[in-house]
């Protein structure tokens, strides 16, 4: 796997979105499992129930994990996705606009 994958999993595991309390149900699954489950759900035409069965976890647990991963991705989106603000930037990156 590529370095970007490992960085994503590492940063997610260190973020506020990954559960760190010992009593958290979702803590039984690794950060890698959280991200893999979400990517499987988002990238395939599968139901939550199907993904939960494939990964051997409960439906409610999977829903909670996906919710945390989505929240994490939304939190890092502004640092990764840059929308051109000036007309010069827009023309530079998209010459037909």
Where do the domains of the chain lie?
Answer: 3-93
pLDDT of res. 20: 80
Q: How confident is the model at residue 74 (pLDDT cuts 50, 70, 90)?
A: very high
| Stated pTM of the model | 0.77
pLDDT tens track for 5-60: 899 999 999 999 998 876 555 456 789 999 999 999 999 988 999 999 999 999 99
As assigned by CATH, the class of the 3-93 domain is mainly alpha
In the prediction, which pLDDT does 96 show? 59
Mean predicted confidence (pLDDT) in 68-93: 81
DSSP states along 8-65: HHHHHHHSTTS---TT-GGGGS-HHHHHHHHHHHHHSS--HHHHHHHHT--HHHHHHH
């Amino acid at each position: 796997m590529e370095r970007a994958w490992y960085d994503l999993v590492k940063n997610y595991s260190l973020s506020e979105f990954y559960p760190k309390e010992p009593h958290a149900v979702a803590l039984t699954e690794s950060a890698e499992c959280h991200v893999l489950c979400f990517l499987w759900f988002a990238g395939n035409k599968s139901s939550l129930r199907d993904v939960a069965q494939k990964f051997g976890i409960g439906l409610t647990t999977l829903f909670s994990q996906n919710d945390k991963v989505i929240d994490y991705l939304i939190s890092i989106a502004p640092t990764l996705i840059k929308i051109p603000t000036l007309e010069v930037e827009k023309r530079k990156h998209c010459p037909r606009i």
